[in-house]
Structure 1
Amino acid sequence: MTAFDPFEDFGDIDEIAERLNDADAAVRRLAVIDLTEAASSDVLPHLLTAVADPDATVRLQVAIALPEFDAVEAAAGLARLAADQDLTVACAAADSLAELKDPAAAEPIMPLVTHASAFVRAAGFRGLKALRSRGALGPALAAMRDADANVRAQALGVVGYLKLEETLPSLIAATRDADAIVRSVAVNALSFTNQPAAAAAVTVALDDENWQVRAAAAESLGRIGQTSAADGLTASLRDEYWQVRQKCLNALGKLKAQSAVWQISALLTSDMASVRKEAAAALGEIADPSSRDALTAQVGDADPDVRKTVRWALTRLG
């Protein structure tokens, strides 16, 4: 069998790049695609010239292509496209910025976080998050007071990814933000620590007016691991949203909260199979003998996943 030649169908890189000067935007867009599929770092300079193409469809294709080259130069091109006048191009560039992994990419992205446009500022922080750049900490903390909620949420993501104990006061303050998405990001971000202050702040969020925040708080408490949260989680087993109840069950299992065995056992007869399964799993994690009768009563549950989890839980009881 003949070996595959990546340039066989597309031609020489310089010949493809020449098509970037064609008067037809469709030809230029196809040239960007062909350059990308050539899978060579030599094509990057050519793609970067297309960042300034007058046609939005060509720039869009460049925004999609540049993450294939995880390099500082690619980050610089995407940073420019994130501020593009065409919203489709800007959104694609913002998505692509979030795919970069090279820490050196932080430098060309950083100017975006002070841009006049809230969209661009948010895109900058979104791109910086996975890079875990300590240089982004100061701007991110400052942006947690931004007027735009999306900017605050993305900046908070940067702070949360750095997982620094020194940022606890700022993360805790963000659990009281006016925007529910920001509050949800904040309670998730606090899961990196087991500090009692973090557990206390997230426990308060179990009473948040937004059910997604309550669910995020329950999940975070399971990761924080402070047993002081058990009472709040137990009370939230009565939450009107099954998603919240399910997260609370999972957290109580992780905390091995023996004090909640009776309340957890009551949910073995929930109308929701996923809740019954999580209740059985929590009881298995806690492994308190007092739950044996309640579990035994559910060995014939109508749902096969619940039955399997009940049997596993009973083995945990010995």
Structure 2
Amino acid sequence: MSVSEPFEAFGDIETIAERLLDPDAAIRRLAVIELAETASPEALPHLIDAADDENAEVRLQVAIALAEFDGAGAAGGLAKLVVDGDPSVTQAAADGLAELKHQEAGGSLLPLLDHASAFVRAAAFRGLKGLRRQDSLGPALIALRDADATVRVQALGTVAYLKLDSTIPSLIAATRDEDAEVRAAAVNALTFTAQPAAAEAVAAALGDANWQVRAAAAESLGRIGHGSAADALCKALSDQYWQVQQKSLGALGKLKANMALPRIVTLLESDMPTLRKEAAAALGEIGDSSAREALAAHADDPDPDVRKTVRWALTRLI
């Protein structure tokens, strides 16, 4: 809930709420704004009632207002609005659901997981993710087979936030999903564990046909921190996309992969300042003194960010 001045500063809530019955939609919308500004729980029932307003602009304002509250009441109002017929209202309600923090809010979201609309199902999983409710796990695992890729992505987030070793096989299977966005979400979801099987699956994604998946895999391997991925990451430094090379450099630095030093040093000669900077940073993270000469040769790099990173890296060498 928003922190605000005492609601008395905004006027009596019941007086403001009376304007929700005004024939003029603009006045009703302003009343919604004023009720939200009170930040008082007493305003919440009036806002929920206003979710049934005939005017889409008013309902949109209600969705925005309810996002400033929390708990089961606000969730119920947002759940009603996420199935609204107006796209702007449903999007605002979906965004509001993602901000919920209290576990009680999940009671209004769980029924939406069976809704006919993929947008609604995805919004419900998006809201449930941060709540970390155990009763969302079963539906989320089932939804990993949903026909809609967006639903599968959001279900993956719900599963990953629970951080349960028992879900690792399902997350690994999702790294082979037909949709690239789902595969990228799956490799990101596996970062909560250092189990060898998870690291192996994410390392395999470095060979994915989609470069965004490969980049996500490289970054995730750095977060997983399993040294077995060093060889695959070293090979990924030759990827045709610089974004994959950049993420691979970052991961190799986190893994302190000495075996990658020769290949990392060659990227200090890249035409791209971003890669030269990342290569210098990786060498600094690894901290091997054998890279001193190569780093010192770039102390006068034409790019100021590269020079700064080189200076930092030199101080890290043992």
Q: Report TM bin, short chain.
A: over 0.9
SS in 2 for 1:52: coil
- Conserved? CA contact 2:143–2:152, under 8 Å: yes
Whole-Å Cα distance in 1 between the matches of residues 196 and 7 of structure 2?
57
- Conserved? CA contact 2:81–2:93, under 8 Å: yes
Whole-Å Cα distance in 2 between the matches of residues 145 and 163 of structure 1?
20
Whole-Å Cα distance in 1 between the matches of residues 265 and 98 of structure 2?
43
Whole-Å Cα distance in 1 between the matches of residues 69 and 226 of structure 2?
43
Equivalent position amino acid for 2:87 in 1: L
Whole-Å Cα distance in 2 between the matches of residues 12 and 104 of structure 1?
29
Which 4+ stretches in 1 moved above 2 angstroms? 4-8
- Conserved? CA contact 2:71–2:103, under 8 Å: no
Once the two structures are TM-superposed, the CA of residue 289 in structure 1 deviates from its matched residue by 2.2
Equivalent position amino acid for 1:118 in 2: A
Whole-Å Cα distance in 2 between the matches of residues 40 and 58 of structure 1?
19
Whole-Å Cα distance in 2 between the matches of residues 311 and 150 of structure 1?
44
Equivalent position amino acid for 1:195 in 2: Q
Equivalent position amino acid for 1:262 in 2: P
Whole-Å Cα distance in 2 between the matches of residues 153 and 163 of structure 1?
16
Identity %, equivalent residues:
67
Whole-Å Cα distance in 1 between the matches of residues 284 and 189 of structure 2?
28
> CA, structure 1 residues 275+297, in 2 after alignment: closer, same or farther (shift >3 Å)?
same
- Structure 2 stretches of 5 or more lacking a match? none
The aligned counterpart of 1:236 is 236
SS in 1 for 2:237: helix
The aligned counterpart of 1:259 is 259
SS in 1 for 2:240: coil
The aligned counterpart of 1:89 is 89
Whole-Å Cα distance in 2 between the matches of residues 5 and 171 of structure 1?
47
The aligned counterpart of 2:38 is 38
Whole-Å Cα distance in 2 between the matches of residues 88 and 287 of structure 1?
52
Whole-Å Cα distance in 2 between the matches of residues 220 and 298 of structure 1?
29
**Correspondence list, 1:94-173, <5 A:** 94-173=94-173
The aligned counterpart of 1:19 is 19
1:203 aligns with 2:187: no
Cα distance per residue 1:11-62 (max 9 Å; x no partner): 3211110000111111111110011112211100110100111111111100
Once the two structures are TM-superposed, the CA of residue 254 in structure 1 deviates from its matched residue by 0.7
The aligned counterpart of 1:274 is 274
1:299 aligns with 2:317: no
Cα distance per residue 1:75-119 (max 9 Å; x no partner): 011011111111111111000000111111111111111101111
Aligned CA RMSD, in angstroms, stands at 1.2
- Structure 1 stretches of 5 or more lacking a match? none
